Structure 1
Amino acid sequence: MSAPRTALSLTPAALRALTEEGRAPRLLDVRTPGEFRTVHIPGAYNVPLHTLREHRAELLSHLDEDVVLVCRSGQRAREAEQALGQAGLPGLRVLEGGMNAWEAAGAPVERGAERWDMERQVRLVAGSIVLTTGLVGLLVPGAHLIGTAVGAGLTYAALSNSCAMGVLLSKLPYNRGPRTDLRTVIAELRSAS
């Protein structure tokens, strides 16, 4: 059995230096359209992770190894790197620390309308459920068990590095934004070659 592949990473400082030298790699931002509209690196292409996985064969012929994958913290970008690597494009790089690290480094960004990120939304919903069921539990025996179930779900989410509540919240209109038109992205990738 072979060892799992680890994605190559690129620090925000190294990416910024490449950009300032005019040698910027192509940036594929695999976050949701809503996250991308809120803040992204100038010149990045938005190809949400689910779209990338579904259409990786189509994207493959328009990408080369001079691509850096970007998400909020690096997790989804590593998943995108694995998906593209399995499809035949190895050696892609992931922005170390994602947009969080890029912004913390004071690197340039393009901003849109401010919106809450998914992690904050999950904390609000989970906290509200636990608080409400805890208070209702004072009057209705057993209601606190709903909060206990939410706590168990959050524990599982942390251990498995997945989040069912985040997936559900991402389907709300607030988080969706316009769908990514793959033909437009491919045309932009082709024209940038």
Structure 2
Amino acid sequence: MNWMALDPKSPENTQVVLEEKNTFLQMSSTLKTKDQLDEGNALTESLCRWKQRVTALTQEKTSLQRELHTAQRQIKHQLVLEEEKNSLQMELHTAQHQFKDQLVLEEEKNSLQMELHTAQHQVGRLLSPPATDRSLRSSHDETTGGCPGGGSFSAFPLQNSDEKSGSCSGERRYPSLEKDGGGEQFRPSSCRCRALEAERRGGGWRAQEG
């Protein structure tokens, strides 16, 4: 339509212009409404996307919180286990030291028992009485068949004997171990008896006259 060809003063033209104007206004209003609707729809879609994103983030946050809570419980449990482990290691270390000390004490005890046993044997040998005349005479008689001359063997060392000649007389008398000061024994003249007497002298036995 050629707007310049219309005469605005003409009634017909005025009606046409008004109609065209109304049509334009309606189209403009429709376009504006459509644009607004499109913009609203776009905003709604964006809002929905953001809501979905927020929901996903919320779910992820909840999951992370659960994982964090689980990790914290595991860490606490691990710390408790570490403390128990350290406590058991200390107890084991203490028990090992005590066991070593016990072994040392057992060794010392065994050593002392052995020393005590040895000392008891030594004391027993020191306190045991020497062989008597009777036992020596019995042993001598079994070996030699008795001393010549009828003399009995004395537990005392040789006294008044003739060491140069090596003789021993059956007539010499010595104090007896079995009688205090009163009894006497004949000294045998056997060389075997003399040898036994010399052996006794070499053993350090000394008799005192009663």
TM-score by length of 2: 0.16
| Higher RCO (C-alpha 8 Å, min separation 6) | 1
Normalized per residue, the structure richer in strand is 1
